[in-house]
């Protein structure tokens, strides 16, 4: 329709003002919800041809369009904006085409697809995944699905932070206090067990710092001199030197964590095409740093540490190798980026990382550019906001985070309780029930997180997320289940949908309004891909579910005596169900057929 309107508006301007205009001057957008109309023409760029006010220009163009093109039914002018209403006949014809469309993503596919890497999760192997990781994983996985739907070749990647001082803290605490404890002997999930020792280290380290400060040390001196942190640094040096005992312990504890991570990823329904490990990529990163040092692109400090000066880029001086020769975090980022480009030759790499790392990624891009990697222009930091709880911020070191496994279990338990109260699953097997409880619980969790603009901080409230009414995942899932119920009843009644005479129906404004909303789907998906915002799709699905439920309440479907209208409403239900299923699928949310 936008192409049709542009063509007709150009004809209007030619007739009215004897002028030819280019497409870029004809700005058409969907009419805002608070105004009457389907499409809006921004008139201001055209007054140079009319030599009239915006209102007079809009009025003249509107009259010409309505008089000459039957698909344009009426118009109204609001200041410099021409709002056009499209005829019901055009919407009916559009809907008949949509019913025959097998590929719902056809219109949102890009002409020039890119190779895009999406990095998400990025866990540390010193603690289990928590609520913050859940938002990260859900955003990354949804972004992968949205970009793929638009035709891009997308590779899902993960970088596991499996080395460094924080990993040595868990290892040292286990060596000192573990007494050989394992996941098998403790009955604890491996990542939880390792996380317990990380917290134990921090608690003991804090006590040591407090004791040193009592004896006159400053806080900074105490934090650098406490016996535990000194031992942890030595452990890191031994690891980087390849000490067999340390490496063996590191491998054992990491294996516990990986097994735990894999379980959580399966429950969340996310996966990866390629996993990178910092313990491998930092080696290449260090080699690149040392090579750049020889080329005088970097400089060595008097304490032997290696730095880069990015002040010309509006940044700061950045440490790349410590004085003892060990690598810092950005060193592995250099190695990882280079490894990925060599393997995939990507057009873009999208780092799904929280907004507290904004400066880090500015530095990484500038650093790689200064080292001669022009493809660094394709690095994108998808900066998202933090997740908090109603009671405040989470703290890993103090063990006050919301564990991902515990939260997933809580959501499924709540879904089970609410579903059993509704009592609509009595004829299901226990296995079928549990699968539905899982779908509802995880649907509530995923939707609540993904419906929020990713760039904003958010507060996660489990009780709000699983409400079967309002802007929630279960509400949209229930709408889909309602649609499936309509077709089960049709089958039981011997009704076979016939969509061959859709354009013969005479639908009301409620039905036409639903058709208009269905048409927006591909545009919403394309916009979500461009802006990296699953929230656009989430809230569209809610609007569609809400509109369908109002239609369902107002319009009889199987009980409608007019067969053309009944079949039209069945078609409307089927396409709504398909689009809800596809849209929620882009969010990684499963849709149960019964609830």
- Are 371 and 341 in contact, with CB atoms under 8 Å apart? no
Task: Give dist(CA 46, CA 55) in Å, integer.
Answer: 11
Task: Give dist(CA 65, CA 259) in Å, integer.
Answer: 65
- Are 205 and 229 in contact, with CB atoms under 8 Å apart? yes
pLDDT number for residue 398: 47
pLDDT number for residue 396: 44
Task: Give dist(CA 98, CA 412) in Å, integer.
Answer: 36
- Are 364 and 337 in contact, with CB atoms under 8 Å apart? yes
- Are 161 and 278 in contact, with CB atoms under 8 Å apart? yes
Q: Which residues pair with 382 in a beta bridge?
A: 352
The position carrying tokens 């990647």 is 157
The position carrying tokens 């499409």 is 39
pLDDT number for residue 418: 87
Query: Is 0.95 surpassed by the pTM of this model?
Result: no
How many helices and strands, by DSSP H and E, does the chain display?
22, 14
Q: Closest Cα partner for 537 from 149, 29, 267? A: 149
Question: What token pair was written down for 595?
Answer: 């609830």
The position carrying tokens 């404890």 is 181
Give 505-574 as a DSSP string: ----HHHHHHHHHHHTHHHHHHHHHHHT-HHHHHHHHHHHHHHHHHHHHHS-STT-S-HHHHHHHHHHHH
- Are 397 and 141 in contact, with CB atoms under 8 Å apart? no
Residues sharing a CB contact under 8 Å with residue 385, sequence separation 6 or more, in sequence order = 354, 355, 452, 454, 455, 456, 457, 458
Tens of each residue's pLDDT in the chain, 595 residues? 888 899 999 999 999 999 999 988 999 999 988 899 999 999 999 999 999 999 999 999 999 999 999 999 999 999 889 999 999 999 999 999 999 999 999 999 999 999 999 999 999 999 999 999 999 999 999 999 999 999 999 999 999 999 989 999 999 999 999 999 999 999 999 999 999 999 999 999 999 999 999 999 999 999 999 999 999 999 999 998 999 999 999 999 999 999 999 999 999 999 999 999 999 999 999 999 999 999 999 999 999 999 999 999 999 999 999 998 888 899 999 999 999 999 999 999 999 999 999 999 999 999 999 999 999 999 999 999 998 877 655 444 444 578 899 999 999 999 998 888 877 787 889 999 999 999 999 999 999 999 999 999 998 887 788 877 889 999 999 999 999 999 999 999 999 999 988 889 999 999 999 999 999 999 999 999 999 999 999 999 999 999 999 999 999 999 999 999 999 999 999 999 999 999 999 999 999 998 8
Rg from Cα positions in the chain: 29
Pairing relationship of beta strands 387-388 and 458-459 according to DSSP bridges: parallel
Measured in degrees and rounded to the nearest 5, phi and psi for residue 354 equal -60, 160
DSSP state, residue 586: H
- Are 288 and 334 in contact, with CB atoms under 8 Å apart? yes
Residues sharing a CB contact under 8 Å with residue 492, sequence separation 6 or more, in sequence order = none
Domains annotated for the chain, with CATH where assigned, are 2-86 (3.30.1360.70), 120-388 (3.40.50.620), 404-586 (1.10.730.10)
Query: Residues 416, 449, 137, 140: is their CA dihedral positive or negative?
Result: positive
Question: What token pair was written down for 208?
Answer: 């040591």
Q: What three-state secondary structure class fits 184? A: helix
Task: Give dist(CA 520, CA 86) in Å, integer.
Answer: 15
Q: What three-state secondary structure class fits 19? A: coil
């Amino acid at each position: 329709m936008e192409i049709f309107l542009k063509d007709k508006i150009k004809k209007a301007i030619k007739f009215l003002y004897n002028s030819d205009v280019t497409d870029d001057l004809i700005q058409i957008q969907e009419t805002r919800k608070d105004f009457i109309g389907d499409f809006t023409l921004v008139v201001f760029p055209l007054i140079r041809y009319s030599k009239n006010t915006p209102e007079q220009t809009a009025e003249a163009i509107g009259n010409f369009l309505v008089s000459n093109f039957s698909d344009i039914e009426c118009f109204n002018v609001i200041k410099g904006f021409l709002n056009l209403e499209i005829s019901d006949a055009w919407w009916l014809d559009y809907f008949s085409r949509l019913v025959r469309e097998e590929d719902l993503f056809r219109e949102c596919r890009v002409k020039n697809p890119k190779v895009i890497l999406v990095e998400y999760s990025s866990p540390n192997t010193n603690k289990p995944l928590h609520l913050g990781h859940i938002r990260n994983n859900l955003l990354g996985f949804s972004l992968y699905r949205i970009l793929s739907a638009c035709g891009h070749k997308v590779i899902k990647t993960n970088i596991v932070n499996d080395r460094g001082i924080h990993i040595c803290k868990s290892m040292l605490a286990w060596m000192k206090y573990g007494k050989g404890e394992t996941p098998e002997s403790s009955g604890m999930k491996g990542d939880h067990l390792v996380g317990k020792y990380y917290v134990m280290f921090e608690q003991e380290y804090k006590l040591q710092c407090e004791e040193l400060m009592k004896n006159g040390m400053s806080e900074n001196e105490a934090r650098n001199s406490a016996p535990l942190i000194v031992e942890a640094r030595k452990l890191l040096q031994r690891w980087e030197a390849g000490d067999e005992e340390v490496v063996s312990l590191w491998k054992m504890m990491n294996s516990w964590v990986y097994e735990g991570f894999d379980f959580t990823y399966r429950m969340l329904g996310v996966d990866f095409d390629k996993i990178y490990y910092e313990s491998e990529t930092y080696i290449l990163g260090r080699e690149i740093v040392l090579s750049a040092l020889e080329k005088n692109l970097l400089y060595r400090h008097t304490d032997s540490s290696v730095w880069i000066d990015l002040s010309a880029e509006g940044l700061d001086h950045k440490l790349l190798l410590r004085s003892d020769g060990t690598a810092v975090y950005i060193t592995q980022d250099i190695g990882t980026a280079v490894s990925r480009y060599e393997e995939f030759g990507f057009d873009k790499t999208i780092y799904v990382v929280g907004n507290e790392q904004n400066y880090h990624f500015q530095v990484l891009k500038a650093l790689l550019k200064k080292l001669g990697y022009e493809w660094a222009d394709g690095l994108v930091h998808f900066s998202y906001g933090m997740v908090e709880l109603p009671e405040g911020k989470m703290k890993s070191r103090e063990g006050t985070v919301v564990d991902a496994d515990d939260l997933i279990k809580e959501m499924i338990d709540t879904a089970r309780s609410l579903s059993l109260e509704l009592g609509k699953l009595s004829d299901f097997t226990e296995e079928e029930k549990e699968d539905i409880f899982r779908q509802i619980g995880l649907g509530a969790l995923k939707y609540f997180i993904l419906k929020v603009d990713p760039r904003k901080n958010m507060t996660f409230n489990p009780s709000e997320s699983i409400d079967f009414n309002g802007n929630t995942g279960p509400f949209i899932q229930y709408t889909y289940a309602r649609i499936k119920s309509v077709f089960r009843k049709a089958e039981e009644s011997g009704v076979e949908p016939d969509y061959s005479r859709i354009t013969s129906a005479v639908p009301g404004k409620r039905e036409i309004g639903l058709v208009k909303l269905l048409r927006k789907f591909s545009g919403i998906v394309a916009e979500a891909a461009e802006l990296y915002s699953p929230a656009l799709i989430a809230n569209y699905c809610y609007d569609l579910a809400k509109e369908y439920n109002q239609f369902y309440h107002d319009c009889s479907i199987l009980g409608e005596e007019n067969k053309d209208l009944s079949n039209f409403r069945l078609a409307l239900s089927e396409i709504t169900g398909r689009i809800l299923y596809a849209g929620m699928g882009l969010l990684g949310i499963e849709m149960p057929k019964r609830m």
